[in-house]
Chains A and B, each alone.
Chain A
Amino acid sequence: MALPAPLLAVEGLTTEFRSEEGTVRAVDSVSFTLSSGEMLGIVGESGSGKSATSLSIMGLLPPRGRVIAGSVALGGTDLLTLGEAELCRVRGRRIAMIFQDPMTALNPYLRVGEQLVEGPMLHLGLGEREAERRAVALLDRVRIPDAQARLRSYPHELSGGMRQRVMIAMALLCDPELLIADEPTTALDVTVQAQILDLVAELRRERSLAILLITHDLGVVASTCERVLVMYAGRVVELAPARELFENPLHPYTAALTRSLPRLDAAPARRLEAIAGLPPRLDRGPFTECSFAPRCAHVHDACRVADPPLTAAGPGRLRRCVLPLSPP
């Protein structure tokens, strides 16, 4: 099964943030690949580094953040070596990004149409009329009723679900190859979530779009992604095809996460399992033991000796754990 060259190849990406209390290593040597038309989910709790990873790829880190190592190859070009002007040509055109809260992610002072046409006019050289026509066509596709009239609306006049659709349309207007979706459904109601996810899946099929879906919600990942990357304390702790990840998690953290999901078929009085403890601080320098050791139910002495490396654990599977490969 020869795979075509991956669209996106992230290798050893490491990002640090300066803070009052020291330097925080938010992303630590993260590597993964993404092929055209594939959907990869990045899962982790708050502070695991998943959003920082996506911002590092786009070059949108806040001023206190810096990528200090690694490479991000998009179709052969390392994005990290590009200057700002060149990056601007990549953003919105080859990689698009949608964010968590559509209310704050859209400019409240500008009309929807004005915000939509910016991309095509800039990247595709379209005139305003043409850009508007293209925008209306895409708004129709994302099922926004009365699209032509919506161009003149302001974001606050639309519902949450509609705003997120507008964001999706805005991201896809220039036909990007890769879409990064950072918690796209977190701010939405459950029913709207399902609609948005369906929409994204359809669009992916139609356009062979590669999608990086970042979320803390395992349920979302289970229903949509082909492969899943689990992050903890800024590093990758497990990588696996989605189905196998849920049926047979190989890292204690992943296992605990899957167990903590409420299930419809569980006994009603069963207590929800939470993971004891808190995530580790990231400003204390390199880890001298396994980062999950303080909270792991299966911790051994071997875990405290050194920080485990990422090792292969079967076809298409990686994990960061020194425990033997038996179901926990």
Chain B
Amino acid sequence: MTERALPSREVSRRPSARAWRRLEQNRLARVSLGIVALMTLACFLLPALLHLDPMTTHPAFRHQPPSAAHWFGTDGLGRDYAARVLMGGQTSLLVGLVATLTCVVIGVLYGAAAGYYGGKVDEVMMRFVDFLYGIPYMFLVILIMLMFSESARGNPLPVFVALGLVEWLTMARVVRGQVLTLREREFVLAARLLGAGDFRVIVRHIVPNVLGIVTVYATLTVPTVIILESFLSFLGLGLKLSWGQLVSEAVSVVNPIAFFWWLLAFPSGFLALTLLSLNVVGDGLRDAVDPRGQR
């Protein structure tokens, strides 16, 4: 609109610099990032540091409320609940990380290919994505989980990968959209006119511009995956010790006589706090990269 004469203090016009500034100013996002970091450290370091033991049962100490001996109380089999919650956190957080990585790798490759080659290739690839999208994801997840459930007892890795396999659709779509737009932008055209080959164009021009949006969606995918895993654990289909499964156990012992609030409160609280913080960080990133955006 109105052009202004540049004042003596230069305002940086580079998009990434402005994005950083916006992110720095977003206090809520920074606090949330801190919370996520703390949570991760707590879940992975505390059990070892404090020699917490999630497995040993103490029948004499069943359903004890929180105390000095057991910070989070004990469960129905007398096991230390703090240990169980923290170790459960390890599972949930790890799921989030690995599944998201899978999702990013597959989604970016697929989406970039579709977007870059365009035309019929793109249409076919996207039709397939549309089809998969049309299947309510819970189906896919449950069915895929079944495929891996036996081996899940021993090695949880396939489960993580399976969860990521379900989430790559959104990432692929987003990346494809971005690549399509970028492809038509003048700077790509300029690069090609200057003789840059496909590879160089992709690496030097397209990838850096896609990184931003990939980071945003990856950060938003982590909580989605964690919720997905917790749903499955709740239904009894998931991994052995995770927050979702702990909540499920807590709910199963609900009865009108005695309510063991700590069984429900701690895993739910940790889950909610982690997810909330991750979402805030993701939103903050998205606002930083595209302040006007609603998507």
Contacts and interface: CB of A to CB of B under 8 A. Distances in A.
Partners in one complex: yes
Interface of A: 46-47, 277-281, 294
Contacts of B3: 47, 278-279
B106 to A, nearest CB: 39
B257 interface: no
B127 interface: no
A281 B1 contact: no
Nearest to B6: A278
Interface string B1-33: 111110100000000000000000000000000
Main secondary structure on B side of the interface with A: loop
B5 A46 contact: no
Interface residues of B, number: 6
B5 A278 contact: yes
A279 B1 CA distance: 12
A49 to B, nearest CB: 10
Contact of A277 (B1, B2, B5): B5
A278 B7 CA distance: 12
Closest 4 CB pairs of A and B: A47-B2, A278-B3, A278-B5, A281-B4
B5 A47 contact: no
B4 A278 contact: yes
Contacts of A46: 1-2
A281 B7 CA distance: 10
A204 B29 CA distance: 58
Interface string B121-150: 000000000000000000000000000000
B290 to A, nearest CB: 17
B27 to A, nearest CB: 17
B4 to A, nearest CB: 5
Given A281-B7, A294-B5, 5 more contacts: A47-B1, A47-B2, A47-B3, A277-B5, A280-B5
14 contacts: A46-B1, A46-B2, A47-B3, A277-B5, A278-B3, A278-B4, A278-B5, A279-B2, A279-B3, A280-B5, A281-B4, A281-B5, A281-B7, A294-B5
B1 to A, nearest CB: 6
A47 B1 CA distance: 7
A278 B1 CA distance: 12
Nearest to B7: A281
A281 B3 CA distance: 9
A328 B71 CA distance: 88
Contacts of B4: 278-279, 281
Contacts of B7: 281
B292 to A, nearest CB: 14
A62 B254 CA distance: 55
B2 to A, nearest CB: 3
Contacts of B1: 46-47
B287 to A, nearest CB: 15
B13 to A, nearest CB: 15
B69 to A, nearest CB: 55
A294 B5 CA distance: 11
The winner among B1, B2, B5, B7 for most chain A CB atoms within 10 A is B2
Contacts of A294: 5
A278 B4 CA distance: 6
A28 B5 CA distance: 20
A176 to B, nearest CB: 30
B48 to A, nearest CB: 49
Contacts of A281: 4-5, 7
Nearest to B5: A278
Contacts of A280: 5
A216 B3 CA distance: 16
A276 to B, nearest CB: 12
Contacts of A277: 5
A294 B4 CA distance: 13
B108 to A, nearest CB: 34
Nearest to B4: A281
A28 to B, nearest CB: 15
Nearest to A281: B4
Contacts of B2: 46-47, 279
A47 B3 CA distance: 8
A266 B88 CA distance: 82
A281 B9 CA distance: 14
Nearest to A48: B2
Nearest to A294: B5
A238 B5 CA distance: 24
A73 to B, nearest CB: 30
Interface string B64-98: 00000000000000000000000000000000000
Nearest to B11: A21
Interface string B254-277: 000000000000000000000000
A45 to B, nearest CB: 9
Contacts of A47: 1-3
A255 B4 CA distance: 22
A278 B2 CA distance: 9
A61 to B, nearest CB: 16
A310 B4 CA distance: 25
A47 B5 CA distance: 13
A47 B7 CA distance: 18
B26 to A, nearest CB: 15
A312 B4 CA distance: 31
A164 to B, nearest CB: 23
B3 to A, nearest CB: 5
Contacts of B5: 277-278, 280-281, 294
A119 B138 CA distance: 52
A277 B3 CA distance: 10
Nearest to B3: A278
A232 B134 CA distance: 57
Nearest to A277: B5
